A and B are shown apart, each in its own frame.
Chain A
Amino acid sequence: MPEAMGFFTDTTVCIGCKACEVACKEWNQLPAENGGIRELSGDSYDNTRRLDGIHWRHVRFIEQFSGPYNGRWLMMSDVCKHCVQAGCIEVCPTGAIIRTEFDTVVIQSDVCNGCRACISACPFGVIDINAVAGTAQKCTLCYDRLKVGLEPACAKACPTDSIQFGPITELRARAQKRKDQLRAQGVEAQLYGADPQGPLGGLNSFYLLVDEPEVYGLPRNPKLPSRNLKQSTSFSVASAAVLGVLALVGLRKRRMDEQPPSLS
């Protein structure tokens, strides 16, 4: 079996060229939004805005400016995290979402029926409906390219190697080295999702960040949707039991009221 493969995205070298977005769209033949007529966000240079069913890569622009000459740009090429414990796989009622031999997470478009449970289950807001297909879609980590020994289109296109593709163990070692290098230079660098003991068993697409995760639109502590299942079920059963008892008590009271009073 092939080893686990994934992405390490070093956000410090991303230049926001969007080559990854274009390569992804081109390779996966994803349609244009709004018939190709771009609607500008109006509040950012980031006009793609979000990952969805037709944007499987999104270069996030984070504009941290307190004045015209005081601030910085942060850029991050965002994508499906291919979680080791994936919420989308957990909830999918059709079995359309599978884990591949590369430890990546893929939605089979011919099985998905567009119920959208996976969209709300993903803690990162990665998945959405592709209106053309009518099914939920997201990055496949170029499963078709991996099968024939090619690297994903986005990593191939990235001109600065911000997106690095390879075996997860190698990528983690490389990421740690890069983080140490930046820290030695005084940069507050941190890895997000690289720890296999961390949330969701680690992410097979992890990041090097220079600010807090929330700044990049990433949850600090992503969780599986099933965390609420037992408690929610217990409370529902308790509520049903209370109502059932109240109904029976009401019937008993009615019966008692109907009985004639005893002579004693």
Chain B
Amino acid sequence: MSDTFFSGAPHWRWLIILYFFVGGLAGGACFLAALLDWFGRPEDRPVVRTGYYVAAWGAIISGLLLTIDLGRPLRFWHMLFQSANLPALMFKGWSPISFGAWAILLFGLFSVLSALGAMAEEGRLQTPAFHLLHRGALAKLVVAVAGLLGFFVAGYTGILLSVTNRPIWADSPWLGALFVASGASTGAAALMLLAPGRGATPRSLEWLSSFDSNALVVELLVLVVFLVSLGSVNRVWVSVWGLLLLVGVVGFGILVPLGLHLKPARFGSLATRPVVNAAKLVLLGGFLLRLATILASEGIDRYRVAVGM
């Protein structure tokens, strides 16, 4: 038996599951938007701007979810400053939850700046200072930092789970890689759903659909490697969470949308709007991945393990 079965569950439930999903989605969307901002074409601008809006709202919601989940929410700033030694900063480079708190803060800052730039570009902000955020070197720098931080936020949550002593989470070093891939696919899915309403061109959506297919393949491969690396711990999946992982994540969250991207004609009524339906299923799969991964471990009770139940 893995030594991880003797640890206690941290009661990371719905707020944290939602945060992992929203943070991953926002991070992935921001990364793709920044990439299109740097290397895309003018016709991609609607997708770019949508990406920054998704990132900014996602970062704000993520911060709120994390704060509400704390046992003492008003002490959220203790993660950023040493409460007994102000204004000294609180930072541990070896603790994912510590550098993650800073990453969320900085991601929020840079994604909001990027979103303000997008608003200025759309003419919704007239102040000249905001135009610096969508034109020129400063704007490029801001969105590059936001994009990199976005991918970091998408992936560090998996690293955070691995750097524990809990079953499943600490039994494999692949969760971070899995969450990065899932963040990328859900980020692309969010853009595929939202960008058409903001004027995205078919060519931009085609690129997003193509990238989403690639991200889903990477996600599937990493998921297989993750499960193989768990070894004997895999017996925990003989539960409702295993069914959810197999049917909800692998089936409906990865294989069906992959099929819709590649061969939509085979999917009957789903093929009427293949991109939209694929995007919705990818979002569902991304959420279920985090749900199954977290709750499968949360459900393992040290007391029951010790008495052999």
Contact = CB atoms under 8 A, between A and B. Distances in A.
A102 interface: no
Given A233-B176, A246-B214, A228 B8 contact: no
A180 to B, nearest CB: 28
A134 B155 contact: no
A9 to B, nearest CB: 17
Interface centre among A218, A229, A240 (most CB of B within 10 A): A240
B266 interface: no
B163 interface: yes
Interface string B74-106: 011011001110000010101111100100000
Nearest to A60: B306
Nearest to A222: B3
Interface in B150-185: 151, 155-156, 158-160, 162-166, 169-170, 173-181, 184
A232 B163 contact: yes
B76 A113 contact: yes
A120 B10 contact: yes
A134 B72 contact: yes
A235 B155 CA distance: 10
A235 B176 contact: yes
Nearest to B155: A236
A96 interface: yes
B214 A250 contact: yes
Contacts of B177: 232, 235-236, 238-239
Interface stretch (B32-40, B54-62, B113-121, B283-291): B32-40
A112 B11 contact: no
A236 B303 contact: no
A251 B39 contact: yes
Contacts of B173: 228, 231-232, 235
Interface stretch (B203-211, B230-238, B257-265, B273-281): B203-211
Contacts of A49: 303
B142 interface: no
B32 to A, nearest CB: 7
Interface string B1-45: 101111111111000000000000000000110011001100000
A119 B6 contact: no
B10 A243 contact: no
A122 interface: yes
B133 to A, nearest CB: 23
Contacts of B137: none
A109 to B, nearest CB: 10
Given A96-B78, A111-B78, A235-B173, A250 B7 contact: no
A113 B71 contact: yes
B8 A122 contact: yes
B163 A247 contact: no
Please classify how large the interface on chain B is, using the bins under 10, 10 to 19, 20 to 34, 35 or more. Answer: 35 or more
A117 interface: yes
Nearest to B163: A225
Contact of B70 (A44, A113, A121, A222): A113
B3 A94 contact: no
Interface string B217-232: 0100010000000000
B84 A236 contact: no
Contact of A122 (B76, B151, B165, B307): B165
Contacts of A91: 92, 95-98, 163-164
A232 B162 contact: yes
Contacts of A146: none
Contacts of A218: 6
B8 A243 contact: no
Interface string A219-231: 1111101101101
B211 A246 contact: yes
A27 B98 CA distance: 33
A136 interface: yes
Contact of B10 (A60, A117, A220, A246): A117
A119 B8 contact: yes
A72 interface: no
Nearest to B75: A113
Contacts of A110: 83
B302 interface: yes
Contact of A123 (B7, B39, B70, B174): B7
B303 A50 contact: yes
A6 interface: no
Q: Shortest 8 CB-CB distances between A and B: which pairs?
A: A114-B71, A217-B306, A236-B176, A125-B8, A113-B75, A219-B3, A239-B177, A134-B71
Interface of B: 1, 3-12, 31-32, 35-36, 39-40, 70-73, 75-76, 78-79, 82-84, 90, 92, 94-98, 101, 151, 155-156, 158-160, 162-166, 169-170, 173-181, 184, 203, 206-207, 210-211, 214-215, 218, 222, 302-303, 305-307, 309
14 contacts: A44-B307, A93-B79, A93-B95, A112-B71, A126-B8, A128-B8, A217-B6, A217-B303, A231-B173, A232-B159, A232-B163, A236-B179, A240-B155, A251-B40
